[in-house]
Structure formats: structure tokens, C-alpha cells
Amino acid sequence: MFTKYGTDNIIVMLAISAILIISSFFVSKSWLSYPLAGIGIILAVFTFWFFRDPPRKVPEKAINDNSYIVAPADGKVVMIVPIDEKKYIHGKATQLSIFLSPLDVHVNRSPVSGRVEYFKYNPGDYLVAYHPKSSELNEHSLIGVMTSHGKVMFKQIVGIIARRIVCVVNQGDSLTVGQQIGMMKFGSRMDVMFDPGTEIFVKVGDKVVGGETIIARLK
């Protein structure tokens, strides 16, 4: 299954792939034939792999207990740090950052259930997604959700290669834990921010699965 958020990219990339492969037949007697065909095949395989949207099963305890926070994206936990959050939580918070490589599933999901009280899109720079300042300086969308256990905020942040964020969330929306909210294209990072007293179940270096891995539990 492929994500609906990447339909335009899939069409363009597969069209380029087809052109390269077909062109290789017209220069079949030239040394260019094999590189053209090879690049076309690799591009097609990468397109199918990158825009995949595998089914995910949200843990029952996260569905039944809104205090649990699930990973909003596939990737590797690269940072768990205290911060002073001034835009939505307005106070001390813990930031947990997940880095997505180009090989990870890039469909994003809501880490919690609740009502969207804050949403803002910010154009910006294109630092590598694991850079400490990428959360502040890179292009990102910022979503603040009021849960039954307090405020949770999460960010979609593009990296040095990514150039587009897709986010279908609007202020006032009600979100369910594990619900798809968009995607980030071609390498990126996702931050989740919550109360500093929250119990955290993962550590830096852990791999997480969007919509399935429970990463924390609110007080």
C-alpha cells in the first residue's frame, strides 16, 4: 500500500524512471544503455519503498488509556532533553526527537488523542535533521494537542534533503492516537514535547515504529 500523501511524487518519479529505462533501449549499442536502465530501476524501487504505507496496529492500552504517548514516526531516537517551551506548553518540558532516514516509513501519526489547540507552519532553513538547531531553524509544522492528561506538542521538521511537509491537521480538529496526520518527504525529524514529569520508556539510540511503539506515559 502506498501513501496518498505522495501521489504527485510517485507519478513524477515513476515517469522519470520509465523514460530512463525506455531510453536505454534506444542506445542499446552504447555504454550508456546499462547506466540508464540501472538508474531507472533504482529510482522505481526507491519510489515504491519510500512511499509505502504499511498497516499499523496501535497498542490496546494506548487506545484505552489516553495517558500513553506513541511514536509519531518510524526512526531512531536521537535526543531526549529538557527544554523551555514558549509557544504552546509555555514552560518546562521534555523534548524527544526521532530521526527518519530516507529508508524509514515517512507517514506521520498523532502520538496522542486530544483536541488540536495550536497549529503553525513555519518556512525555514534546511539543516541536517539531526542538527540540534534544526527544530528551531528548519521548515516545520507545529501541532499542540490538549489531552485529558495535559498538553503535548509535536513537530514535523524537514532535513537537508527534504523540501516538503504534508500536514492535514487544522486547529480545532480532534485527533485519535495513531491517526495519520501527514508525512515528511526524503529524510526528516519529528519532535514530541511533553510535561517533564512524564515517564519515558525509550532511550537515545532506540528504534521506534510510528503508531505502534509506546514511548512515554503522561502523569
Hey, where are the domains in the chain? 4-50, 60-217
| pLDDT value of residue 163 | 58
Determine the pLDDT at residue 29.
Answer: 77
pLDDT recorded at residue 146: 98
pLDDT at 191: 95
pTM assigned to the model: 0.86
Sequence-ordered list of residues with C-beta below 8 angstroms from that of 122, at least 6 positions apart, any chain:
139, 140, 141, 142
Question: What confidence tens digit (pLDDT) does each residue in 140-188 have?
Answer: 899 999 999 999 999 998 866 555 788 999 999 999 999 999 998 876 8
Which residues are annotated as catalytic?
188
What residues of the chain score a pLDDT lower than 50?
none
β-pair type (180-184, 207-208): unpaired
- CATH class for the region spanning 60-217: mainly beta
114: left (phi over 0), alpha (psi -120 to 50) or beta: left
**pLDDT of amino acid 27:** 84
Closest CA to 122 of 156, 91, 152: 156
